[in-house]
Amino acid sequence: MDPRQGEGLERTRATPAMPPVDAAVAIGLEPLRDARRRWPAWAGAALTLLMIAGLARELLGDGLDGLTRSVPGSPLFYGFFALAYLALPVTDYLIFRRLWRIPAAGLAATLKKRVANEILFSYSGEAYFYSWARANAPMVAAPFGAVKDVSILSAMAGNAVTLALMALSIPLGAALLPAGMEATAGWSAAVLVATSLPFLLFRGRVFSLDRPALWWIFGAHCGRLVAGSLLLALAWEAALPGASMAMWLFLAAGRLLVSRLPFVPNKDLLFANLAIMVLGGNGPLSELMAFTAALTLVVDAGLLAAFGVAAIARRRTAR
């Protein structure tokens, strides 16, 4: 054997296995190392700042008095909002609990997954959760397949529920749509169908889990989306009673449609800005949409800070 090959083999044996990606790194608390990998984060941050500026203009256009007027006074709004916010991480936890028997700490991991997808860009949360699963679910030899299947099924469920809600809301809320928006809605529906077809046609090559598990996961995500939309509509109704059901259905369908956009951070911010454009500014409905998006951003940022502080405390305790 070449001596240099032997030395390389010894170095390989002596090098410890790469530790799992730290949660702080996975959710963007540490800077990216390569400029070529940094541009999506910079682009997402710039888009987020623009959307925050739009919300600030809506909420603070009349000063602090306008902001006070925009804050819902009903406790039911905050209760329904919290349940709607938790619908995704709780569903993800229940799914992976069934697949892998993950511990209760998995709920914090699915919360971090949600925050990463919102604060950074879509699917960064999946990258974090994959690293967490490899470190904390040792009974799983290859977690990538399951994480991939759950993500694809979540997207397909989102497309299906969005199409159903659009079919229900557009006839009822046709008067709320600007001129020419019906054609845009039709093209949007066609895109949703087209993005789901490849996974249906080639499901045998795409998915790793067995068929009963796939159907259960798809049903869980459909139930989560319906429940989340209903809870958010109840929150809006509690904050602004008296609006028509057609309005709430229209807004819920629009929010789901915006949520289908890939690689876009802070989709709630984007939806709120679009809703303000459609509804017109300085109205109770547009102010409510702006406040809901701002509250979501505050909760995301608060959780991100709390997870960061907890990670620092654990490291200091371990020393």
Digit-coded pLDDT (tens) for 158-209 = 888 888 887 777 666 555 555 555 555 555 556 655 666 565 555 556 788 8
Neighbours of 188 (CB within 10 A): 17
Do the beta carbons of residue 261 and residue 276 sit within 8 Å? no
Rounded Cα–Cα distance for residues 70 and 303 (Å): 23
Both tokens assigned to 23? 């949660």
Q: Rounded to a whole number, what is the largest CA-CA distance in the chain?
A: 83
Nearest residue to 154 (alpha-carbon basis) of 199, 111, 101, 109? 199
**What are the tens digits of pLDDT across the range 209-255?**
888 999 999 999 999 999 999 999 999 999 988 777 777 877 888 88
Q: How many Å separate Cα 124 from the centre of its chain?
A: 10
25 pLDDT band, cuts 50/70/90, is: very low
pLDDT per residue as tens digits for the range 286-315: 888 888 888 888 888 888 888 888 888 888
Q: Which residues of 206-244 are buried (b: 16+ CB within 10 A; e: fewer)?
A: ebebeeebbeebbebbbebbbebbbbbbbbbbbbbeebe
Which residue range is the domain that position 76 belongs to?
36-318
Residue 86 has pLDDT above 80, yes or no: yes
- Residue 308 falls within a domain, yes or no? yes
Has residue 102 been placed in a domain?
A: yes
161 domain-assigned: yes
Kindly state whether residue 30 falls inside one of the protein's structural domains: no
Residue 142 belongs to some domain of the structure? yes
Q: Is residue 7 part of a domain?
A: no
Residues in the chain: 319
Give residue 224's pLDDT: 95
Q: How many domains does the chain have?
A: 1
